[in-house]
């Protein structure tokens, strides 16, 4: 099965206060919606936004498809579903962009329930007494039996929920309402109190406290590897780890062919499960012809920070007979550290030969191997 995640962030969220909508306000160093997006890394993701937020979305979307929402929540979700139609998606998770604390456990329970049902959603039993009120006074009580608080992500088999949205008129509180209007059964799974929806100003403090507690309980450490090869061509000097090294040849590539920086960039992307350079900067795009590879590494490092990680270690090994790397290694480390915005002591650059074996031994090109370690901030 192919699962996609829709993160709905097109609302204005005025009850939370602030100068920008709540999903774009900062929480633990990054926008609320960035936390929601990060919960679904590894899935095909669609971020639904208000057109006024296009610039903000570009900074957090990563590989997510950005879709402009409609005049209502239901219209916004339908726009995302239509963008996924015909793409082979079989299941879809629809999540509020203002819920930054959804856990893997909740997502897993929703997906497991979709094995037996057309729809599934997390919920929390109502335990407090319920009142009605007017003008600040209690006017009555309500029986709480059989009442639940709805949460997201709400999961559905794709074709039935797409058909339900196409047939639905008006707006709905959530996608369960749309599904039930179409006659779909939706099973409830266990939600979590921590999976709160940021609605009022005080919710930011609650969410921040929950994030701190989560980080204290478990450290998220990621490691990625990168490997790259470039052949020699006519030219004078090669770019290696951000330094132009004198040599009787150049390296062949669509960009500046900095083999060391390419390997390190892929290592950072790999640690985040964010693909490789080719996915973020396609070689078929002429704008990257001859581009400086620092652009790629800067993007990977910025994306890591956006995802909540700091690069704690970066190690590059250059494999070649010539040119000699040793005299330039410190300058290379300094260049890489500056681009990534980390301390020099966290960056290593070293070189080895292949003992005259293979294409590097025949001096036909240079290979590079890199490893990056990322730790959640």
By DSSP bridging, strand 44-49 and strand 3-9 are parallel
Please give the pLDDT value at position 146: 94
For residues 182 and 88, is the Cβ–Cβ distance under 8 A? no
Instruction: Name the nearest CA neighbour of 150 among 122, 127, 170.
Output: 122
Please give the pLDDT value at position 81: 98
Structure tokens at 297: 């590494």
The enclosing H or E element of 229 equals strand 221-234
**Which string of b and e fits 161-193 if b means at least 16 CB within 10 Å?**
bbebbeebeeebebbbbbbeebebebebbebee
Q: At what angle do helices 329-340 and 294-306 cross, to 10 degrees?
A: 50
For residues 11 and 23, is the Cβ–Cβ distance under 8 A? yes
Write out pLDDT tens, residues 314-349. 999 999 989 999 899 999 999 999 999 988 999 999
Please give the pLDDT value at position 14: 73
For residues 237 and 366, is the Cβ–Cβ distance under 8 A? no
Separation CA 262–CA 87 (nearest Å): 31
Please give the pLDDT value at position 250: 83
Write out pLDDT tens, residues 180-221. 999 999 999 999 999 999 999 999 999 999 888 877 666 789
Question: What average pLDDT is seen over the chain?
Answer: 92
For residues 293 and 240, is the Cβ–Cβ distance under 8 A? no
Please give the pLDDT value at position 217: 66
What ranges do the domains of the chain cover?
3-217, 221-376
Please give the pLDDT value at position 214: 77
Half-sphere exposure of 270 (CA within 13 A, CB side): 17
Please give the pLDDT value at position 218: 63
């790397």: which residue's tokens?
A: 325
Local confidence band at 377 (pLDDT 50, 70, 90 cut-offs): low
Fold of the domain built from segment(s) 221-376: 60s Ribosomal Protein L30; Chain: A; (3.30.1330)
How many Cβ atoms are within 10 Å of 330's Cβ, its own excluded? 12
Please give the pLDDT value at position 191: 96
Write out pLDDT tens, residues 146-183. 999 999 999 999 999 999 999 999 899 999 999 999 99
The enclosing H or E element of 70 equals none
Separation CA 263–CA 183 (nearest Å): 52
Helix (H, G, I), strand (E, B) or coil at 122: strand
Q: How far are the Cα atoms of 58, 191, 261, 314, 354 from residue 228, in angstroms, in the given order?
A: 28, 44, 9, 15, 15
Instruction: Name the nearest CA neighbour of 104 among 115, 114, 96, 112.
Output: 112
Domain formed by 3-217, architecture:
Alpha-Beta Complex (3.90)
pTM score > 0.75 for this model?
Answer: no
């929480």: which residue's tokens?
A: 27
Instruction: Name the nearest CA neighbour of 147 among 170, 129, 173.
Output: 129
The enclosing H or E element of 66 equals strand 65-68
């Amino acid at each position: 099965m192919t699962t996609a995640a829709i993160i709905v962030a097109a609302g204005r969220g005025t009850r939370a206060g602030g100068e920008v909508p709540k999903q774009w306000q900062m929480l633990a160093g990054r926008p609320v919606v960035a936390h929601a997006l990060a919960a679904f890394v590894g899935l095909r993701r669609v971020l639904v936004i208000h057109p006024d937020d296009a610039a903000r979305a570009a900074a957090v979307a990563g590989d997510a498809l950005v879709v402009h929402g409609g005049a209502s929540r239901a219209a916004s979700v339908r726009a995302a579903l239509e963008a996924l139609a015909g793409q082979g998606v079989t299941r879809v998770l629809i999540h509020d962009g203002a819920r930054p604390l959804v856990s893997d456990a909740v997502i897993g329970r929703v997906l497991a329930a979709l094995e037996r049902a057309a729809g599934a959603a997390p919920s929390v039993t109502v335990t407090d007494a319920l009142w009605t009120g007017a003008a600040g006074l209690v006017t009555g009580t309500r029986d709480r039996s059989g009442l639940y608080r709805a949460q997201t992500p709400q999961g559905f088999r794709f074709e039935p929920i797409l058909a339900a949205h196409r047939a639905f008129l008006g707006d709905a509180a959530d996608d369960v309402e749309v599904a039930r209007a179409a006659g779909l059964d939706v099973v409830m799974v266990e939600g979590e109190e921590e999976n709160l929806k940021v609605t009022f100003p005080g919710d930011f403090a609650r969410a921040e406290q929950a994030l701190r507690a989560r980080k204290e309980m478990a450290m998220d450490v990621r490691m990625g590897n990168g490997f790259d090869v470039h052949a020699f061509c006519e030219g004078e000097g090669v770019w290696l780890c951000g330094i132009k090294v004198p040599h009787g040849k150049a390296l062949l590539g669509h960009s500046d062919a900095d083999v060391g920086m390419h390997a390190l960039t892929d290592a950072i992307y790999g640690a985040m499960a964010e693909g490789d350079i080719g996915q973020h900067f396609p070689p078929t795009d002429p704008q990257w012809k001859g581009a400086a590879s620092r652009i790629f590494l800067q993007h990977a490092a910025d994306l890591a920070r956006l995802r909540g990680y700091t690069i704690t270690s970066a190690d590059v090994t250059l494999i070649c007979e010539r040119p000699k790397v040793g005299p330039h290694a410190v300058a290379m480390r300094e260049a890489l550290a500056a681009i990534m915005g980390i301390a020099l002591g966290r960056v290593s650059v070293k070189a080895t030969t292949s003992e005259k074996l293979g294409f590097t031994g025949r001096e036909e090109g240079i290979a590079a191997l890199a490893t990056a370690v990322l730790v959640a901030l």
